[in-house]
Homo-oligomer: A and B are copies of this chain.
Amino acid sequence: MREKIYVHVADDHKILIEGIMAVINTDEEIEVRDYSLTGQEVIDWFDNNENKADVLILDITMPVLDGFEVLKYFKKNKINQKVIILSSYDDVKIVQEVLNLGCKGYISKNNAGVHIVKAIKAVAKGQQYFSDDIQGILLQSLSGEMVPQGEMPDKFLLDSLTERELDVLKLITKQYSTAEMADFLNLSVNTVETYRKSLLKKLNVKNAVGLAMYAVKNNIV
């Protein structure tokens, strides 16, 4: 009979812990032994507990001590704890930083359900594991480029927009088509078209992308 894999889960959202437990406990090989709601709790648990966990599922953002601090603690004390990061942050820098801190797996919360069990088993065996979206981010980072930006948002232009134009602008940034906007706003397609053209003219851009970029620059989204 194969030995069980013991897991400790750390996340400040209890509901998410319950979700993970529900998913993990469908697998006979894995058992969630305990959980923590803050980084401090994690460290305390590993300090004062004989029943260490084989794998630690760790959130980045937690009160008291975040995931980074927990990883640093393990590294500092040369504790060879296998850690899988479960995070909403799909940023390259964060992924690279936790890898430097010795974590063995990284799963985006967006699709944790399909990855968590596989990840635990892989990491327990000493392998690494990354969900496919994280893999993509790591690959992309190899051909990265940085372009700094610096422009003043144009208050005059922004003020000149009417309520309806702002409605349309916001929906455009959410990828609505004209027909969809008309439906949503209970307006004629022609009317929405009018606002769209008015926006193009007022903001002096050539297409919907220009509108979206303007909206971003001026924190309308």
Contacts and interface: CB of A to CB of B under 8 A. Distances in A.
A1 interface: no
B113 A137 contact: no
A51 interface: no
Query: Which one of A16, A112, A145, A150 has the greatest number of beta carbons of chain B within 10 Å?
Result: A16
A20 to B, nearest CB: 7
Interface in A175-221: 175, 177, 184-186, 205-213, 216, 219-221
A123 B185 CA distance: 28
Contact of A19 (B18, B149, B154, B160): B18
Contacts of A145: 220
A198 B66 CA distance: 26
Interface string A152-191: 1111111111010010000011110100000011100000
